[in-house]
Amino acid sequence: MSETNRELEPLSDPGLPEHVHRKTDVDPLAAKKAERQVSILFTLSALGTILFVYAYVWIPEDTLIFLPLFNVTNAHQLFLGLGLAMALFFIGMGAVHWAKTLMPDHEVVDYRKEQRSKDEDRAAFVATVKDGAAQAGLGRRPLIKRSLGLALGLVGISPILLLRDLGPLPENDLNETNWKAGTRLVTDPGDRPIRPSDLEVGGVAQVQPEFPAGKVRHLDDIAQDSVLLIRIRPEEFNLDAERLSWTYEGIIAFSKICSHMGCAVALYEQTTKHLLCPCHQSTFDVTRAAKVIFGPAARPLPQLAITVDNEGYLVAKAPFNEAVGPSFWGRDSQ
């Protein structure tokens, strides 16, 4: 197609334009000047390194200075950085200026050949492969072919099996937390048990399950056990009888781990009684058992049933009746 097409082209290729000489090519004075400019740029780089060394050795690490645009900044880090930046930048500027003004700027033409090899080379290549395969004799010796296939198919099992010990199986882990019937709620931070009277109407508190003496609370525990206590006026609840019985004198407890992707649902708006997750803005209505009213979360936050023990401290009435945190395949969400 290209040959006939070319003839139809409206304009023929005028060819490479005439080379235009730069001032530095024809005027020795201009060239001398360019040379000086390049050396000034390189010298600026050297000064940058000196600034760097000066800052490293003589500017104390805790010196703070005020800069109009950047507010208060650490002078040591700032001048180290500026020195380094200068040292590098001006080497580059010098080299580029040098190339642009003093090195030859004649455009040159190189020729391409098609990537595809010549037909006889391709044929020879194919023949070589066929020949090689024939010499190996795979086609004639099916026993070898099949057993090799078997071996290659299986050899991948070992490295995969080796990865098995990366971690334990989840078992029932994701469905369980450290909350049991009767577990006391303790403040986080502080680990103090709390009474209903410690939380005013409108108040929020983060709690964890109380651990027996000697048991250490790990981040894994916090990632599943964190619970938010919120106290509103009991008549503001809009709950069915069962869920209402899970609250205590206007105090309601939700898992703090977002039912969407597990962030901490940390923002409570007192006026609207909404809980907001800062990760993707899922919003839960506290008065309606944390029903999702906005955002990508598909389930309410699990509610923890609470009551008080005979000493008057808040305790869990029962464990969570569903898994906390983000969904997973084996999660029973009915």
Segment 271 to 300, residues that bind other proteins, using CB under 8 A = 278-282, 292, 294-299
For residues 50 and 29, the answer to whether their CB atoms sit within 8 Å is: no
DSSP code for 267? E
Interface with other proteins (CB under 8 A), residue from 4, 158, 197, 334? 334
- What are the tokens at 170? 């989840």
Sequence letter at residue 304:
L
Q: How far is the CB of 283 from ligand FES (least distance, A)?
A: 9
224 contacts ligand FES (rule: CB under 6 A): no
295 contacts ligand FES (rule: CB under 6 A): yes
Q: How far is the CB of 262 from ligand FES (least distance, A)?
A: 6
Residue 20 or 241 with smaller CB distance to other proteins: 20
Site for ligand FES in 239-278 (CB under 6 A): 258, 260-263, 277
Site for other proteins in 99-138 (CB under 8 A): 99-100, 103-105, 107-112, 114-115
- State the Cα angle at 242 between 237 and 244, rounded to 5°: 25
- Distance between CA atoms of 258 and 264, rounded to whole angstroms? 6
Residue in 213, 246, 206 with CA at minimum distance from that of residue 230: 206
Residues near ligand FES (CB under 6 A), total: 11
Phi then psi for residue 74, to 5 deg, are: -75, 115
Q: How far is the CB of 275 from ligand FES (least distance, A)?
A: 10
By a kind-dependent CB cut-off of 5 to 8 A, residue 143 interacts, out of ligand FES, other proteins, none, with: none
For residues 268 and 202, the answer to whether their CB atoms sit within 8 Å is: no
By a kind-dependent CB cut-off of 5 to 8 A, residue 148 interacts, out of ligand FES, other proteins, none, with: none
For other proteins, what does the binding mask look like between residues 238 and 267, x meaning CB under 8 A?
------------------xx--xxxxx-xx
Q: Which stretch binds other proteins (CB under 8 A): 91-99, 122-130, 138-146, 243-251?
A: 91-99
Residue 293's CB is within 10 A of a number of other CB atoms, namely: 15
E-strand ranges in 137-263 read 185-187, 204-209, 227-231, 251-255
26 contacts other proteins (rule: CB under 8 A): no
297 contacts ligand FES (rule: CB under 6 A): yes
Site for ligand FES in 156-215 (CB under 6 A): none
Handedness of CA 69, 75, 81, 84 (dihedral sign): positive
- Distance between CA atoms of 29 and 1, rounded to whole angstroms? 54
Site for other proteins in 155-184 (CB under 8 A): 163-164, 166-170, 173-174
Go through 49-60 and write b for each residue having 16 or more CB atoms within 10 A of its CB, e for each that does not. Answer: eebbeebeeebe
Binding residues vs ligand FES (CB under 6 A):
258, 260-263, 277, 279-280, 282, 295, 297
